[in-house]
Amino acid sequence: MKGVIAREPGTEVIFTDMTEPVPGEYDTLVRLDACGICNSTDYKLAKNTFVSGSFPIALGHESIGTVVETGKKVKHFKPGDRVFRQVLPAILESDGLRSVWGGFAELGLVTDEWARRDIPYGPEHYPGAQQKLLIDVEPAQAATMITLMETLDCAANTCHVKPGQSVAIVGTGPVGQAFALFARLLGADSVHVFGRTNRALDRFQQIGRCDSFAIDDEYTPDARRILDSGGFDISIEAVGSPDGLQKAFILAGSKGVVYVYGVCGDDDPFQQEILARNNVKQAGATEGRIQQRLVNFIEAGRVDLNDWVSHILPLSACQEGFDLVRNKEAVKVVLTA
């Protein structure tokens, strides 16, 4: 089979041969349909500044695929099922590859954790990310659901966004855009975005429906009023940079809580003194428990998956896709098999 790897730290990636994974007794063998390029972490993985280690590496962690074979103890997946997050084994010994999930490969594995743990299938029993897709959409659209599930779960179940609150979002990439959308859909009273350029202003007004968009310290009167009254109730760091964390901390003021969702590179880490503050929390996500809620938003017409994919390319055009992300020319690039 073929897949996408980076041979050495840097931004160059190639589409090349690799050994097919061998499923275990609780694994399903999955044929890749599509995998999105993560605008933040895939780039950092390729530079070896996130989950650092030996090279070459097999990239990709926003994948959707179709089950083609099941291990003898698999109970809850069957051939033809569409599933999220197929991965490669952590090390492919014969290829000398380290897998940083390896979703950009033509074949991967999804584990039936429910069978392995001897529990009923469903997110209420085990909310893992490797689940069956609950809606019939095109592969590229399905791949975009991973970022949307992560941000929706974080907004709803970690940040606890609810009606009446003020929300500040630091970061203007796709993750920040998704947080703005979901903060609004979850009922936040006001949603304000803070960035360094106005490149994404139209995008936020169209998709995120934010109340204001501030560049650097050029706050609107509404944002300034919230700051002067003690700060935003919720301040989300959605970019993954020390400057972003500093900004989010300022915006939370004396009464708000900072949720750190962005991931820094090892070469430019967050400030530990800010992370140690009582009102600063790491903002993880458990996407498997939120898929049905996202599907409800999609079916109600409140989320349009077409808005979240800007480029669809074949796996063989992986470098072109990474260049689009690096140059900030894409909302979401999805590579298809």
pLDDT at 258: 98
Mean pLDDT of 77-93: 95
Q: What is the pLDDT of residues 86-113, one digit of tens each?
A: 999 998 888 999 999 999 999 999 999 9
Q: What is the pLDDT of residues 33-69, one digit of tens each?
A: 999 999 989 989 999 999 999 999 999 999 999 999 9
Mean pLDDT of 1-27: 94
Q: What is the pLDDT of residues 192-216, one digit of tens each?
A: 999 988 888 888 877 867 899 999 8
Mean pLDDT of 254-283: 95
> What average pLDDT does the structure give for the chain?
95
> Which residues are within 8 A (CB) of 86 and not within 5 positions of it... i.e. 6 or more apart?
30, 32, 63, 65, 103, 105, 107, 108, 109, 110, 130
Sheet strands (E) in the chain:
2-6, 14-17, 27-36, 57-58, 63-70, 82-84, 91-92, 97-99, 107-111, 166-170, 190-195, 212-215, 234-237, 257-260, 280-282, 311-314, 333-336
Mean pLDDT of 241-252: 97
pLDDT at 206: 78
pLDDT at 208: 62
Task: Specify the CATH superfamily of domain 2-144+306-336.
Answer: Medium-chain alcohol dehydrogenases, catalytic domain (3.90.180.10)
* Top-tier CATH class for 160-282: alpha beta
Residue ranges matching CATH 3.90.180.10 in the chain: 2-144+306-336
C-alpha to C-alpha distances, 120 to 69, 86, 116, 130, nearest whole angstrom: 21, 21, 11, 15
